[in-house]
Amino acid sequence: MGLNVPQFIDEAIGEIRRQVEGRAVIGLSGGVDSSVCAFLAREAIGDRLIPVYVDSGLMRQGESKKIAEMFSDFNLITVYAEDRFLSALAGVIDPEEKRKVVGETFIRVFEEEARQVGAEYLIQGTIYPDLIESEGGIKSHHNVGGLPLKMEFKGIVEPLRELYKDEVREVARGLSMPTEICERMPYPGPGLSVRILGEVTRDKLAVVRAANAIVEEELNSFLPWQAFAAILGKATGVKGDIRAYGYVVAVRAVSSRDAMTADVLELSWDVLRRISHRITGEIPEVSRVVYDLTPKPPGTIEFE
Ligand code: XMP
């Protein structure tokens, strides 16, 4: 049976109203989950909702500007925390530790903002697959298994915890949210940090951000579930007769219904070649581009 959207919206608004006393902070990432939560929460508690966007430095190209535009009528608080995230991530190479460091840093920033405005509740866009993957020990989604054990909040409110992504999109349409938000590709909370295998540095972030922008530009019209780039490591290449020890960038493009399983997009050779040429041509630090052929399972969608 499909989701009864109007009923879900009414019940979610009621639940938020019952759970939140006083003010609540919501972390907005620009993705459909947190955006839907923000729309529901605004209906439920009006200006007792304090929306916070944390620019972690792990965001996609142009994302901060886009989020400011998308939520221009929301009194958004923007926190610039790139240095803080990068110092917390310095030296961290284990993927699960990375997720925990990012999850904890987000929570500490939200706690500080909440303290300043006297909010005791945190609203999060956690969805069902986030819970399943974290509890099943597959990977700690930053908003579930990546959370610290001790938090200052009196309550965490998760109105979407029983929904799959396609149901969240239905709710978004039911709330008449802008199409751009309803149909956006999923993007992981730990952002570009899980698209860099090994240590996250400013230089690698710049490279992977540029590569992600090219992949999205080239593949958006294929309507993938997700299409992105990740840095796998370094390899020897040759550019203009000179040895180039550069980054290996993997391109990943998948179709999926709910992110629990995924198939690789069968792209034409022309499309793949064009992406490879653009990435090695436009990003001097990259010496090699590969296309990931692994479905989920046995792979996961993100690399870490
Ligand atoms: P995986 O990589 O486990 O990802 O196949 C399944 C889906 O979840 C997204 N993802 C996340 N979303 N917080 C999120 O909000 C996270 O920590 C996280 N990790 C992965 C991923 O992009 C894919 O759509």
Domain 5-182 - what CATH class? alpha beta
- Centroid of ligand 1 to alpha carbon of 182 (angstroms): 17
User: Exposed/middle/buried for 84, CB within 10 Å: 0-12, 13-18, 19+?
Assistant: middle
Pick the CATH number of 201-291 from 3.40.50.720, 2.60.40.10, 3.30.465.10, 3.30.300.10: 3.30.300.10
Q: Which atom of ligand 1 is nearest to the CA of 138?
A: 3
Binding residues are 29-35
Q: Residue 164's pLDDT is what?
A: 96
DSSP structural state of residue 260: S
Q: Residue 293's pLDDT is what?
A: 98
- Centroid of ligand 1 to alpha carbon of 89 (angstroms): 19
The residue ranges of every structural domain in the chain are 5-182, 201-291
Mean pLDDT of the chain: 96
For ligand 1, residues with CB inside 6 Å are 99, 130, 133, 139, 141-143, 186, 188-190, 226, 259, 296, 300-302
pTM listed for this prediction: 0.95
Q: Which atom of ligand 1 is nearest to the CA of 296?
A: 5
- Centroid of ligand 1 to alpha carbon of 217 (angstroms): 21
Query: Is the distance from CB of 145 to CB of 135 less than 8 angstroms?
Result: yes
> Which strands make up the sheet holding 77-80, listed edge to edge?
77-80, 49-55, 23-27, 119-123, 155-157
Q: Which atom of ligand 1 is nearest to the CA of 226?
A: 24
Binding residues for ATP are 29-35
User: Exposed/middle/buried for 303, CB within 10 Å: 0-12, 13-18, 19+?
Assistant: middle
pLDDT tens, per residue, the chain with 304 residues: 799 999 999 999 999 999 999 999 999 999 999 999 999 999 999 999 999 999 999 999 999 999 999 999 999 999 999 999 999 999 999 999 999 999 999 999 999 999 999 999 999 999 999 999 999 999 999 899 889 989 999 999 999 999 999 999 999 999 999 999 999 999 999 999 999 999 999 999 999 999 999 999 999 999 999 999 999 999 999 999 999 999 999 999 999 999 999 999 999 999 999 999 999 999 999 999 999 999 999 999 999 9
Q: Residue 145's pLDDT is what?
A: 87
How far is residue 240's CA from residue 255's CA, in Å, rounded to a whole number? Answer: 37
